[in-house]
Structure 1
Amino acid sequence: MGVTNPSTQCPACLGDDFRSLFRIEAGELPGYPEDAAVYACDDCAHEWDTQHLSYVQHSEVSPAWVDALGDLYATVYAEPPYCEGPDEVRGFRAGLPEEATRPGFALITAHDGDTLVGAAYGWTMERGRWWKRADRQPPADVLDADKLAVLEWLVRPAHRRRGVGAELLRRLLDGRPEPYATLASNPESAARDIYERAGWVQVGESETPWGAHMHLLVLRLGR
């Protein structure tokens, strides 16, 4: 059965060359709601439906993804305690293409139908390296090892408390070769408590270029 194409783009490649496959009818596919429309991208062969959360892994970032992730960043970081504005968003957009070329880069995006609702990405912080502006070095076993530096973890407000953030981090951390992951978290944010409950340990403090105080956290990854 033909259906109308969604108004945005393929969740995997942001291409607009896709086609409708079918509309799910009652009882047709177990686990799918009635009236979900399923699409396939002719550019990258990704398939998605309009009524389920889906997750896509990326190893590079196109200009279209810089724009989409910049919009998501602006939405999330406009909230307190961050209260970031256009200057910080421009900085994020400008820096993302270079970050995507770093060794070990990985990006996970979450989609509700054809809408981008969350993202998490990071790259390998090589042994001997640590966060700029840190007040101290981490324990020697952390400093002397490669680490997955988690740079951003973003979820739209309307999709929080639905497991989206947890699934993004799980997929980003799963199977990484580094023995540790590390990130910087604003101590006044709700995310800070989430990290602590998940086993992240504070090993230092730092500041962002615009003066925000941050806690530096480390998590031992399974081998």
Structure 2
Amino acid sequence: MVDVKRALTYSFKDDNWIVKIIIGAIPFINPFFSLGYAFQVFKQALDNKAELTMPEWDDWGGYFKSSIMIILIYFVYMLIPLVLYAIGALVGFGGAWLMGTGSEGASGTGVTIAMILGGLIYFVGVVFAVILGLMIPMALANYAKNGERFGAIFQLGVIIKNIFSIIGDYLLTFLVIIGIVIVVGLAMMIVALINIIPILGQLLFFIAYMLVGFWLSLVIFPLLGETCAGAYGAGKAVKKA
């Protein structure tokens, strides 16, 4: 079981936590530098560090590189679902459009089949998105453990094996994260009441949204890193990409 309390509280132990979170919440810095910043905490947890610490904002080049790589890894893993979404939407909406225009060249049965087929393809895309989405944290861990070599994210056999070696904790961590996100989301709904104040309220809510969003990444990344660490025992060999 991951140490949820540690993930929720470590950032506030830093003397400069307010400044560090404000920097990470600034648009453009978030996500193009902030993801790489949070990745450093992910690696601390992955390496079983006893204490988590907020890094200094002093490696902008490294944070940018890591952020771009994380975005790229996410895109690579979501490419198949995105293609299926596009095909499903094209087939389904194409059928709906033909039905709506009453095209003489399209039979009612054919159009219905096209709409059903489009829906099924889209559903398959959703299934792939869930499965591949669950694989991304372990792929990121394998990437980190292999000296941040991009090829490590394609070691699907290793990644899947590692996931199943800790499957119970792995799925439980996702449930914990979902719970945290729901609680934070409910809190933000209350904060959203300030939107009734014209302009100023909307600005304040946007600022709060960015601050909480970055802080949430600093909670989620170490939870995932700590969980993935269970698949890498002390002295365990890491396959090179």
Q: TM-score, normalised by structure 1?
A: 0.25
Higher relative contact order (CA 8 A, sep 6+): 2
Higher normalized helix content (fraction of residues): 2
Which structure would you say has the larger Rg? 2
Higher normalized strand content (fraction of residues): 1
